[in-house]
Amino acid sequence: MTRGGGQDRGIFERRAGSGIWWVRYHDEHGAEHRERVGPKQLAKTIYTRRRAAVIEKRFNVDIIRRQAVTLDKAVDDYLARRAGAASIRNLRRIGRMWKKRLGARALHDIRPRDVELFRAARLAEVSEQTVYHDLSFLRAIFTQAVKDGRAVQQPVKDLRQPRAHRVRYLTAKEEARLYDHLAPRWHPLLTIALHTGMRQAEQFGLTWGQVDLAARVVKLPKSKSGQPRTIELNDTALDVFRAMPTRLRTDWVFVGRTGRRVNARNFYRRAFLPALLAAKIEEFVWHDLRHTFASRLVASGADLRTVADLLGHTSLQMVMRYAHLQPGARSAAVRLLDVKQNATGTTTGTGASRAIREVP
d(CA 117, CA 111): 10
pLDDT tens digits along 227-265 = 889 999 999 999 999 999 877 678 999 998 888 899 988
Q: Which of 62, 40, 64 is nearest to 51 (CA)?
A: 64
Q: pLDDT at position 168, please? A: 83
Top-ranked range on mean pLDDT: pick from 98-102, 255-259, 339-343, 346-350:
98-102
Q: Is the pLDDT of residue 13 over 80?
A: yes
d(CA 315, CA 348): 37
Give me the mean pLDDT over the 65-89 stretch.
81
d(CA 285, CA 277): 11
Share of the chain above pLDDT 90, in %: 27
CA atoms within 13 A on the CB side of 108: 14
* DSSP-assigned letters across all residues of 209-232: GGEETTTTEEEES--TTSS-EEEE
> For the chain, which domains are there?
2-67 (no CATH), 71-147 (1.10.150), 172-328 (1.10.443.10)
> Which residue type is seen at 8?
D
Q: 106 near 149, Cβ under 8 Å?
A: no
Q: 233 near 196, Cβ under 8 Å?
A: yes
pLDDT tens digits along 230-240 = 999 999 999 99
pLDDT band at 356 (very low <50, low <70, confident <90, very high): very low
Q: Which of 125, 122, 119, 88 is nearest to 201 (CA)?
A: 88
Q: Is the pLDDT of residue 117 over 50?
A: yes
